Amino acid sequence: MKIVFIGAGAIGGYYGGQLAKAGHDITYVVRPATRKVIESEGLTLINPEGTEKVSNVSMVSSLDEVESADLVVSATKIFGKPALPENLPEGAAFMTTENSVEYPLLAEEKYGKQRFIPAVVRAFIHREGPATAHHMGGMLAWSFGSIDPATEPLVQALHEALADTPIKAKIHPDILSDVWEKAMMVTCFGALGAVLEKPIGVLRTEYRDSLRALMVEAAATAKAAGIELKDGTVDKVMSFVDQQAESATSSMQRDILEGLHSELDSQVGGIVRIAISSGAAAPLHQLVWDALSTKNAKLRGQK
């Protein structure tokens, strides 16, 4: 397959690197500093078994430099208003992987269902410098699915391509519900963790009721927006939380507490905006969004 990754950070670097190792044509849209590192050292992929270098990838500075492709994978953090590519390469569909329930709606509106594939990645991967991705172990998964029959062959091709990698691929029959399921975990525990400055092990014990309340509110927002979540989804997500390492934190949580630009607006703010536009309410998310906006601004001012 010919796949373009926008970003060579944690997810883009690791997932794209694994596909390149399997022999696929991988191109990265990267900044000059990252391009320089890849040209001289290759991608650096770290996991519990060791470190490896991947150099058989191409790089461009802009998506406009790519004439044709099968798939464009957006693998960047969204700070503020999303900036969707104005144009896609010939023959390419666009895939979102970000932790945002709002971004897929915007992508579908811009490109149409025939050229858009929502996806969810689940993995604890840290970016440890330009073109360096560290998989901390445990889950390494990628689920995706068609929302239009036109993309079904491409979805099947990606699933087959991933069979030669350590990434566990799944074609999800209702991928938008999976997007919300992940948000119920990552956004809710990341936001609460940033407020309390605690890892997931503390949140799921001492603050379990608060964590669950945020998830219940997110599920109600999904329902108001027309997303069909199965009965027991909140219990399922809480069970998944219980399986994670006690010290786990989300990237949004870490960025906020380090005084960096964060995905607060795209993750928590996105849920609030969808609730409002759907005629619902998300007062807990609104409260957390307001509190963390102030906290993040204060911490950034101290840097």
Averaged pLDDT, 201-230: 97
Indicate if the pLDDT at residue 189 is higher than 90: yes
H or E segment to which residue 270 belongs: helix 270-277
Q: Could you tell me if 276 and 289 are in contact, meaning their C-beta atoms sit under 8 angstroms apart?
A: no
Query: How many other CB atoms sit within 10 Å of the CB of residue 112?
Result: 13
10/129 Cα distance (integer angstroms): 9
Determine the pLDDT at residue 9: 93
Indicate if the pLDDT at residue 303 is higher than 70: no
Indicate if the pLDDT at residue 121 is higher than 90: yes
List, for residues 281-291, the tens digit of each pLDDT value.
999 999 999 99
Averaged pLDDT, 192-218: 97
Averaged pLDDT, 179-199: 96
Indicate if the pLDDT at residue 134 is higher than 70: yes
Determine the pLDDT at residue 79: 86
Share the mean pLDDT of the chain. 95
List, for residues 35-86, the tens digit of each pLDDT value.
999 999 999 999 999 999 999 999 999 999 999 999 999 999 888 777 899 9
Determine the pLDDT at residue 298: 82
Q: What domains lie within the chain, and their CATH numbers?
A: 2-173 (3.40.50.720), 176-302 (1.10.1040.10)
| DSSP letter (8 states) at residue 9 | S
